[in-house]
Amino acid sequence: MQRVFSGIQPTGVPQLGNYLGAIRNWVGLQKDHDCVFCLVDMHALTVWQDPTALREQTLGQAAVLLAAGIDPKNHILYNQSAVSAHARLGWLFNCVVRLGWLNRMTQFKDKAGKDRENHSAGLYVYPSLMAADIHSFHATRVPVGDDQRQHLELANDIAQKFNHDYGVDFFPLIEPLIPPNAARVMSLRDGTKKMSKSDPSAQSRIELTDTPEDIALKIRRAKTDPEPLPSEEAGLENRPEARNLVSIYSVLSNETIGQVLETFGGSGFGPFKNALVELLVSTLGPVATETRHLLQDKPYLQQVLRDGAERASAISEPIVVEAERLVGFLR
């Protein structure tokens, strides 16, 4: 059975983009893969986090993932900092990755913006830690949203260079699993920016714990333009907000964009937004209810993560010990 690895940063409550781009696929992959899912708190730290909030968000995210259908008995769910393999292989990979490769990473440019000098070195080497996350488990399939495509290409480049530098065939190639639709859900306030859990505006995203009232309000307020919806997909060109809402509807309803526009094209956004709210509430409502229920039992959530970390260490430890031996570390 192929091994899947994927992670999510405990930087807030998971949002609709995390769900459609990643979490929903994670749940499906559990059927026929051996899955390792990680709350990547070390990645979260690349941008300052309030320590109390980070702990709370880590537990909160575990609750959301379990509520969404992650099975912690047959698969593994844990938080990254509890397994030392990540930091150790991350360092080896920092010594393999080239500065020129990191300079090309668009996520760093997006997150650092013009104020590059004032960002942490951790944010800069984030992609080599991400490569270490995956390769510590010899995982071969990685389900992510489209924004992570470039990082996965780099993870393969790093592994190949390691193999080449040490004359081994130790790290396997990884295959990104990027959903064909909704691979990039955009902000509800700006259709050219991706939806993010740490966007300062809570109105820009649907969170997986939102109540039906929150969802209705956010969708009603979602930015659109004054034109009616087009009847054909070509009419969505240069209308990023309209395209985003229609594509969210299309993914949730399992209809093509053409089919959605056949139903709603020609009219204003009102009836379409009402139907979108209904779809979102019926998909996310059960996840929110179960999350609230799980959050009442924090010792259970902590136990799930501890147990996951133990099993994650059992897999990753021999792989990282071998990588350390290959580079010449004395034991």
Q: Residue 196, interface with ligand AQP (CB under 6 A)?
A: yes
Q: Tokens at residue 259, please?
A: 């089919």
111 is catalytic: yes
Contact call for residues 97 and 158 (beta carbons, < 8 A)? yes
DSSP-derived secondary structure letter, 8: E
- Cα 86 versus chain centre, distance: 18
73 is catalytic: no
Smallest separation (angstroms) from ligand AQP to the CB of 8: 4
Q: What's 93-109 look like in SS3?
A: HHCCCCHHHHHCCHHHH
Q: Which range touches ligand AQP (CB under 6 A), out of 9-17, 84-92, 213-221, 285-293?
A: 9-17
Contact call for residues 77 and 62 (beta carbons, < 8 A)? yes
Tokens 């964009």 correspond to 257
Binding positions for ligand AQP, 87-146, rule CB under 6 A: 144-145
Residue 136 annotated as part of some ligand binding site: no
Given 147, 214, 233, 324, the residue binding ligand AQP (CB under 6 A): 147
Residue 11 annotated as part of some ligand binding site: yes
Produce one character per residue of 302-324: b if its CB has 16 or more CB atoms within 10 Å, e if not: eebbeebbebbbebbeebbeebb
Residue whose CB is less far from ligand AQP, 142 or 323: 142
Residue whose CB is less far from ligand AQP, 61 or 224: 61
194 is catalytic: yes
Q: What are the Cα distances from residue 10, in Å, to 22, 43, 108?
A: 14, 9, 18
Query: Nearest residue by C-beta to ligand AQP?
Result: 21
Catalytic residue among 111, 161, 223, 298: 111
Cα 64 to Cα 115: distance, rounded to the nearest angstrom = 33
Q: Which residues are annotated as a binding site?
A: 9-11, 17-18, 133, 145-147, 185, 194-198
Residues with catalytic roles: 111, 194, 197
Per CB under 6 A, residues contacting ligand AQP are: 7-9, 11, 15, 17-18, 21-22, 144-145, 147-148, 183-185, 194-198
